[in-house]
Structure 1
Amino acid sequence: MRTYNILFLCTHNSARSILGEALASTHPSGKFVGYSAGSTPGGKVNPIAADLAVEMGMDRALLKSKSWDVYAYPDAPKMDFIITVCDNAAGEVCPFWPGQPATAHWGFPDPSQVQGSDIEKKAAFVAVMNGLQKRLDILAAMSLDKLDSMSLKEVHTKA
């Protein structure tokens, strides 16, 4: 079975994109390898996002806040899908992605901006995680070899 590389983009690459990377990499279908990056990475992964990713089975050492530039280099993994998960990253001019991967925007509110108790903050991260999981489940059920950008965008409207 072929696996598909998915790059999740968010401005700071500290929460939503990290969750996307972890969910894709640990998806039960085995169809995806997740990556994440940001246009202006914050340099650290949000601890709640990191804990959830580890609970999914990700190695904490692999969770890094990094620039999307690292995936534009010639020796970088070729992406099949580029998915922005925050409205800021969706509106930015992205680097050229070799191979013309399908792109989509699956916008979610920033859970790291939630104020309140630790339980309320974690609930915001879990809500984003569940939303991403639902979209990845729909994507995994599709015939990916025939998928194009328009079909990928429809995953957002069905979720």
Structure 2
Amino acid sequence: MKKILVLCTGNSARSQLAEGYLQHFAGNRAQVYSAGVDPKGVNPVAIQVMAEDGIDISHHTSNHADEYTGMAFDYVITVCDNAREQCPYFPSAGQMIHQSFSDPGHTEGEDLVTSFRRVRDEIKAYSQAFVEKNLA
């Protein structure tokens, strides 16, 4: 079974969405974790938009990346530029991957929920393709 860690700044939205989708698509082929370099708590809008797509992340917690530095991961995925720049060193990481997504709720001209849905859909497509390519 592969181990995947998804990192973003606050571990409140993008990494939570990615954790939910990666686990959904990977099933029992992977254990997926998420963390942040400055955790802020799981954003309730992230929980809402995932529930709209049938995935429950209400049980997720917001964790600091330092909590995972001793674990062996097959993949460490950063989903924002800030996390990539501040990512702690993971000596056991089989592969470091960076895929930046915009910060939902901070897009000019979009309301909060619309922004979260757009980023959710981008992360969903990425997660499905990642699992198909790497966990087939």
* Greater C-alpha radius of gyration: 1
Q: Any stretches of 5+ residues in structure 2 without a counterpart?
A: none
| In 2, Cα distance between equivalents of 1:12 and 1:23 | 18
| In 1, Cα distance between equivalents of 2:134 and 2:2 | 12
What are the Cα deviations for residues 113-142 of structure 1, in whole angstroms up to 9, with x where unaligned? Answer: 24677xx32221121121122122222222
The answer to whether structure 1 residue 88 and structure 2 residue 48 are counterparts is no
What is the TM-score with the length of structure 2 in the denominator?
0.83
* Cα pair 1:84 1:107 within 8 Å, conserved: yes
1:60-139 mapped onto 2 (5 Å cutoff): 60-61=58-59, 63-73=60-70, 76=71, 78-92=72-86, 94-114=87-107, 120-139=111-130
What are the Cα deviations for residues 73-104 of structure 1, in whole angstroms up to 9, with x where unaligned? Answer: 3xx4x321111111111112x32324232111
1:152 alignment partner in structure 2: none
Aligned in 2, Cα 1:97/1:112: closer, same or farther, shift over 3 Å?
A: same
| In 1, Cα distance between equivalents of 2:19 and 2:114 | 19
Q: Which amino acid aligns with 1:103?
A: M
1:58 alignment partner in structure 2: 56
1:18 alignment partner in structure 2: 16
* Cα pair 1:15 1:112 within 8 Å, conserved: no
Aligned in 2, Cα 1:136/1:114: closer, same or farther, shift over 3 Å?
A: same
Q: Any stretches of 5+ residues in structure 1 without a counterpart?
A: 146-159
SS at 1:45's partner residue?
Answer: coil
* Cα pair 2:20 2:57 within 8 Å, conserved: no
What is the TM-score with the length of structure 1 in the denominator?
0.72
Aligned in 2, Cα 1:5/1:141: closer, same or farther, shift over 3 Å?
A: same
CA RMSD of aligned residues (A): 2.3
Identical residues among aligned pairs (%): 34
Aligned in 2, Cα 1:67/1:46: closer, same or farther, shift over 3 Å?
A: same
